Amino acid sequence: MKHLLLLLALSLPLMAEDWPQFLGPRRNGTYHGKDLAAQWPADGPKVLWRKKVGSGWSSAVTTGGRVVHFHRDGQQEVIECSDATSGKTLWKHTYAANYVDRFGKDNGPRATPTIIEGRVYTMGASGIVTALDFKSGKALWRVDTKKQYRSNLGFFGISCSPLVHGKHVLLNIGGENGAGIIALDINSGKLRWKTSTDNTSYSSPILATLEGKQQALFFTRAGLESVDPKTGRTLFTFPWRPTINASVNAATPIVSGNLVFISTSYGKGAALLAVKDNRTETLWARDGIMSNQYATCILHEGHLYGFHGRADGGNCELRCVELKTGKMKWSHPGLRSGTVILAGKELLILTERGELLRAPADPAAFRPTARAQILGFTVRAYPALANGLLIARDNKNLVCVDLRAAQ
């Protein structure tokens, strides 16, 4: 009976409290699961478990009481599945990894795994795409995009978190011969379509419905590109790239109705686009307001909340900006950089120094209500929040923090 229940849990549709892919179930950084505790203890929320992990900045994902995290140990990339409440390792899958960061910073994977319909999909730092059985960790197929499509490793390796739509795994790999964006078959890894000559970026794509038409939005090295996820046909493009070569596009696009928000740093800034008839109208575009170098904003009740500025310089400010006008509501310096997710009407902010803060998502002012040190001083990956458990990592540890309301 226990075995049957596990199989059912792994095959059922994702519940709202799961966090099965980058930025959560809707890829927008929002949580709609179990209620969180109204207050934290004076010494911070309880840490359920902590475990050592290898290098990399891939975020953890979680479904059905299991956590999958992706890291590098020596000369291997490791896809590891653990029990969500105990941290006990359930299975590991490894393969040889030879990526070397040319800046000497980190050789581990950057892209976040995707769990869907009983499978796990990953993209390694050197462009190796792997499909595994979620229950057992058994490899189903593997594709080396560097060998097959001559994918571009950019400045810091490939960082596109897989997006699954129907029978396709969608990826921005920056390959040659029109393979900037590809769709691989979920069952075999075979190429189903390719499009775009754009290089890879450090952003991950999203699915969106604009004017009643479902499409996949990619923020590539060159700018925004919308494609039909079934066929790969390009629907529209919008160039948005910093003028300096030593730059990246990393934040994920944000969609509200027919509006699309994109943002980068390096003197380029952000733009709000209105989409009509597969054409874009720029509603506002400027630097100095909400320029996201790495992390993506969240959108709540018409306002963006996120880190503005250069994270690599340590001088970011947490800001609130009105989406439709680009008007800044408030700015809070001092947190350096970090990530923001939304739980109900509260912001959960994890700084690069490992401090977790909570505050109302309020355009009137930034008023943190609690803060706790949960990790060390080198945090880049987004946390996952599922069933009231926050799972986050720094450069050495993966930690599970209990934010649940008392039962």
- SS3 track for 288-310: CCCCECCCCCEEECCEEEEEEEC
Instruction: Check residue 11 and give its pLDDT.
Output: 36
pLDDT at 4 over 60: no
Are 153 and 97 a contacting pair, CB within 8 Å? no
Q: Is the pLDDT of residue 6 over 70?
A: no
Query: What does DSSP say about strands 61-63 and 46-52: parallel, antiparallel, or unpaired?
Result: unpaired
Q: Tell me how far apart the alpha carbons of residues 212 and 29 are, in angstroms, rounded to a whole number.
A: 23
* Predicted local distance difference test score (pLDDT) of residue 14: 41
- Residues 55-67 have pLDDT tens digits of 999 999 999 999 9
**Mean pLDDT calculated for residue range 1-28:** 64
> DSSP 3-state assignment of 328?
strand
DSSP H or E segment with residue 49: strand 46-52
Q: What mean pLDDT do residues 173-193 have?
A: 97
Tell me what the pLDDT averaged over the chain comes to: 94
**pLDDT in the model for residue 193:** 98
C-alpha to C-alpha distance for 207 and 205, rounded to whole angstroms: 7
pLDDT of residue 154: 87
Give per-residue pLDDT as tens, 211-255.
999 999 999 999 999 999 999 999 999 999 999 998 999 999 999
Question: Residue 28: helix, strand or coil by DSSP?
Answer: coil
What is the distance, to the nearest Å, from the Cα of residue 406 to the centroid of all Cα atoms in its chain? 29
Q: Residue 259: what residue type? A: L
The arithmetic mean of pLDDT across residues 152-156, rounded, is 88
pLDDT-based confidence at residue 407 (cuts at 50, 70, 90): low
For residue 162, what pLDDT is reported? 98
Radius of gyration of the chain (CA): 20
d(CA 306, CA 353): 16
Q: Is residue 12's pLDDT more than 70?
A: no
Between CA 74 and CA 196 the distance in angstroms is 35
Whether residue 182 contacts residue 174, with contact meaning beta carbons closer than 8 Å, is answered with no
Residues paired with 342 in a beta bridge: 30, 347
SS3 148: helix
- CA 212 from chain centre, in angstroms, equals 25
pLDDT tops 50 at residue 129: yes
φ and ψ at 390, to 5 degrees?
Answer: -100, 125
Phi, psi of 29 (to 5 degrees): 75, 25
Could you tell me the CA-to-CA distances from 185 to 88, 118, 165, 171, 398 in Å, in that order? 32, 15, 10, 12, 32
The mean pLDDT value for 98-102 works out to: 90
Alpha-carbon distance of 356 to 341, in angstroms, equals 11
pLDDT one-digit tens code per residue, 320-364? 999 999 999 999 999 999 999 999 999 999 999 999 999 999 999
Residue 166 has pLDDT above 50, yes or no: yes
